Structure 1
Amino acid sequence: MLGAATKGRLLVATPPLDDPNFDRAVVFVIEHDDDGALGVVLNRPIGVVLPGPLERWQDRLTAPACLFEGGPVETHALIALGHRSQRAVADHDDDEHHVLLTGTISSVDLSVDPALVTRLQSLRVFQGYSGWNANQLDAEIEAGGWIVLDAADGDVFTSEPGDLWRQVLARQPGRLSWLAGAPNDLSLN
């Protein structure tokens, strides 16, 4: 099982992925264990502001300051990811409002007053998530549907999510970087 090796890393969809939900998607893996996997698509901004009582967080969002489509599962649910400095993580600042996921990336409790979360450097909110049953993601990776890559600083909170798929691939060594130049319609290649 690949679980521990994918948590906190990126899943980059290989072209063409049969599922339109994941065409040229870049997924940040939040959890991957024996029960399955959960992540959010980083490059699908919806373009709408936060709804209702969550509007108070709107000015804390990282550009583009809108809701993102995290995936096709439970699209009524919201997942908020935040970035804190290494110092804030080491000092355990705001720990009651965050659950550290990996490195400096944490989940953020949107039910609290944003003023209580003082050391947050970036914030992104996702509607829905990407989920896989036990061994499902492992099988998709082994079949070549996903490339597992390390996340660079800034990937989760990029200001240019539409370019993220190409950017992540372009910085890879060797032939893998060639995929960044693949046309949207592979039959044109």
Structure 2
Amino acid sequence: MSPEGKTPKPVRRKSAGFGDHSPGDGYLDGRLLIAMPVMGDPRFERSVIYMCAHSSEGAMGIIVNRPAGSIDFPGLLVQLDIIEKDDQIKLPENAETMQVLKGGPVDTGRGFVLHSSDFFIKDATLNIDDGICLTATVDILKAIAKGTGPKHAILALGYAGWAPGQLENEIQHNGWLHCDADPDLIFGEDVEEKYQRALRKIGIDPGMLANEAGHA
């Protein structure tokens, strides 16, 4: 996967899903990608990716199990001038503990919030699937800081992008497994355990996984 992978052109959700496709046609938006142990790209080794968009124009997803290191959400709010430094101690609990993740190698200076569907901004929030939404505007960060944001959310810096047909090719070459999305795997606090849990979710013992393509 190239870090220069392009985000698919904006698409509007129709009755069945993103773009003009429907369930069962092989597109993976709203599902989880799980890296095979033989993944040769260190940027995606042991990664679990929530797919936000997938169509004939390409694919885009957010890695949900890679911490952003020393970056924390309250400090980020200060950097973005959303709150004053002294106001960090006044943040609601879900803002204090909100996870900041490395969402992927593309556009790493931009934040993407995956969140529950109890929060929605017209013309800014994409309702992806099963109560999971994506918002990439500063307004959602302000709402979280005020305690009026979604109940569940993670902030990802950057995303993973695939050109048309690229993801399909990687799956055919044993790069990825995929399975139904699980809100606990997306929003759960045990980030370091998500990869093992995702494999077990589809009935795979991580220690026994062979170099074979597979689909949940």
> What TM-score range do you get, normalising by the shorter chain?
0.7 to 0.9
Aligned length in residues? 171
Task: Confirm or deny: 8 A CA contact 2:52 2:134 kept in the other structure.
Answer: no
* Residue 131 (structure 2) pairs with residue 101 (structure 1): no
* Residue 174 (structure 2) pairs with residue 148 (structure 1): no
Which whole-Å CA distance do the structure 1 matches of 2:166 and 2:54 have between them?
11
CA shift, 1:105, in A, is: 0.7
TM-superposition CA deviations, 1:27-53 (whole Å, max 9, x none): 100001111110011100113123222
Residues 54 and 120 (structure 1), Cα distance of their counterparts in 2 relative to 1, 3 Å cut: farther
Please provide the CA RMSD for this pair.
2.8
- Amino acid of the residue matched to residue 109 of structure 2? H
Residues 109 and 71 (structure 1), Cα distance of their counterparts in 2 relative to 1, 3 Å cut: closer
TM-superposition CA deviations, 1:123-174 (whole Å, max 9, x none): 111111000100000000111100011112311101101111100111223x
Q: Which residue matches 1:66?
A: 99
Residues 4 and 83 (structure 1), Cα distance of their counterparts in 2 relative to 1, 3 Å cut: farther
Which whole-Å CA distance do the structure 2 matches of 1:147 and 1:79 have between them?
24
What are the within-5 Å matches in structure 2 for residues 25-174 of structure 1?
25-47=47-69, 48-50=71-73, 51=76, 52-53=79-80, 56=83, 59=92, 60-61=94-95, 63=97, 65-84=98-117, 88=118, 94-96=120-122, 98-112=125-139, 113-114=142-143, 118=148, 120-173=150-203
Residues 23 and 109 (structure 1), Cα distance of their counterparts in 2 relative to 1, 3 Å cut: closer
Residues 119 and 61 (structure 1), Cα distance of their counterparts in 2 relative to 1, 3 Å cut: closer
Structure 2: stretches of 5+ with no match in the other structure: 1-20, 210-216
- Amino acid of the residue matched to residue 138 of structure 2? S
CA shift, 1:3, in A, is: 7.3
- Amino acid of the residue matched to residue 14 of structure 1? M
Residues 54 and 145 (structure 1), Cα distance of their counterparts in 2 relative to 1, 3 Å cut: farther
TM-superposition CA deviations, 1:53-72 (whole Å, max 9, x none): 27559754484x33200011
Task: Confirm or deny: 8 A CA contact 2:143 2:149 kept in the other structure.
Answer: no
Greater fraction helix:
1
Greater fraction strand:
1
Instruction: State the TM-score, normalizing by the size of structure 1.
Output: 0.78
Identical amino acids, percent of aligned pairs: 25
Report SS of the residue matched to 2:185: coil
CA shift, 1:74, in A, is: 1.1
Residues 62 and 168 (structure 1), Cα distance of their counterparts in 2 relative to 1, 3 Å cut: farther
